[in-house]
Amino acid sequence: MTAKVEIYTWATCPFCIRAKRLLSRKGVEFTEYSIDGDESARAAMAQRANGRRSVPQVFVNDRHLGGCDDIHALDAQGKLDTLLNA
């Protein structure tokens, strides 16, 4: 079974680009929600992300993983692949 991966982004955000690059390098298909300047979309993201309003915010199987640094840390610990292949 392949995990359902979702990422909230801004088009020019360097952290968003890094997070998407990591996921793409791992061959992960993801749904991207570009929320550039859309405050209602950002509020909806924050509600899902335990109040976090920064981008990117990454979800795997509806579980909030966090932002760019969070998924890179999970990858460094060898835990990201397990979550992505759940």
The residues spanned by each domain of the chain are: 5-84
Confidence of residue 1 (pLDDT cuts 50, 70, 90): low
Confidence of residue 2 (pLDDT cuts 50, 70, 90): confident
If one counts every other C-beta atom within 10 angstroms of the C-beta of residue 79, the result is 13
**Secondary-structure class of domain 5-84 per CATH:** alpha beta
Q: pLDDT tens, 32-84?
A: 999 999 999 999 999 999 999 999 999 999 999 999 999 999 999 999 999 99
C-alpha span between 35 and 53 (Å, rounded): 11
Q: What is the pLDDT of residue 15?
A: 98
Q: Which phi-psi region, left, alpha or beta, contains residue 65 (left: φ > 0; alpha: ψ -120 to 50)?
A: alpha
Amino acid at 76: A
Structure tokens at 32: 């991207």
